[in-house]
Amino acid sequence: MLSYIIRRVLLIIPTLFLVSLISFVIIALQEHYNGDFVTQLKGNPRVTPETIERYQKSLGLDQPWYMRYAKWLEGIITRWDFGYSFEKRQPVGDLIMQYLPFTLLITIPTALFVWLLAIPIGIYSATHQYSLGDHSLTLLGFIGLSLPTFFSALVLLFLLTDLNYPAISGIFSQQYIAGSPWPWNWSWGKFVDFLAHLWPAVLVIGGASIAGLMRVMRGTLLDVFGSQYVQTARAKGLAERIVIYKHAVRNAINPMISIFGQFLPVLVSGSLIAAQVLNMPNLEIFYFQSLQPPDEYVVVTVLLFFALFLLVGNLIADILLAWVDPRVRYD
């Protein structure tokens, strides 16, 4: 098992390298045809060509893209330095740390909320097929899948405003905004305030995901119920509870674990609209703000973190699959 995990972890390094290289090449091509960050200054008559040239040299934009990429990669490996933001005039690592904690504070509780509800609901629907409860949950699932995230966020925002709910936007109240978002700077009052602001975002972001995963769990479990080993277990006279949870659910859970690998980055990127409507800081919002004009080191670093989310999600899914199904680790 340990060797399997080590092999999977080692695969992350070359994957991140390729993601960063491809991202940098794409940004370099965009800058070649549409201009770099300094190009926007050429339309300003008060900015002289000498100033633009000096500005390009200070930012390193006078060098070829591969030289900039090599220096950026060297800075990450040797100093954990992700470069310098052209627009914000700050180190990219500091800027990422301003948004990453808030993104994780929204994403992790949402993921727990989704999975802790979707799996039991899917099991209930499968074990009560075509009942009133199954039809009701199926209807709610289709409604959740069909409603756009921004519409759900706006409806919830309207309802909370109508009810005079105090924590309708942001992730903290005004008195708790100052200071670092990391847990060691928290107090009990700040934690309670965070929960009051968090649940609307979790409900909006997780609603559609619950609907989709619930349908997957239901369909997979119904397929397993028709398999021969489940029929054999029932024929032996085993209690239905043992048949369901020890035999059927244990095998039906494998596809859900596989989905988890893609679920984490989708949840991070899918929170963009809800975070925008609910006025919550988010890494995805920061990324889109850095695209026009392209703040290349910010864009590449954020893409690198998104790739890391995907790879870590897949790593966790692979480890869980290997733990649940020992055949996986020998493939």
pLDDT tens for residues 70-113?
A: 988 998 998 888 988 887 888 888 888 888 888 888 888 888 89
Report the CATH number that the domain containing residue 156 is assigned in CATH.
1.10.3720
> Which pLDDT does position 178 carry in this prediction?
62
- Where do the H-state alpha helices sit in 60-182? 65-79, 92-127, 132-146, 149-162
> Which pLDDT does position 30 carry in this prediction?
79
Cα 313 to Cα 75, 165, 257, 301: the distances in Å are 26, 35, 10, 18
Q: Name the token pair of 107.
A: 């994403």
Domain count of the chain? 1
In a domain, 6, yes or no: no
In a domain, 145, yes or no: yes
Tell me the residue range of the domain where 275 lies.
Answer: 93-289
- Nearest CA to 297 among 60, 18, 100? 60
User: What mean pLDDT, rounded, does the chain reach?
Assistant: 82
Spans of the chain below 70 pLDDT:
1, 37, 40, 43-44, 177-184, 269-271, 325-331
> Which pLDDT does position 184 carry in this prediction?
55
> Which pLDDT does position 221 carry in this prediction?
92
In a domain, 267, yes or no: yes
In a domain, 98, yes or no: yes
- Nearest CA to 196 among 249, 160, 225? 160
Please state, in angstroms and rounded to a whole number, the distance separating the CA atoms of residues 139 and 144: 9
pTM, whole model, 2 decimals? 0.81
In a domain, 257, yes or no: yes
Q: Give yes or no for a cis peptide into 293 (omega within 30° of 0).
A: yes
> Which pLDDT does position 153 carry in this prediction?
82
| 324 in Cβ contact with 257 (< 8 Å) | yes
- Nearest CA to 2 among 331, 329, 324? 329
pLDDT tens for residues 32-82?
A: 777 776 776 776 677 777 777 777 787 777 788 888 889 889 989 988 889
In a domain, 51, yes or no: no
In a domain, 76, yes or no: no
In a domain, 99, yes or no: yes
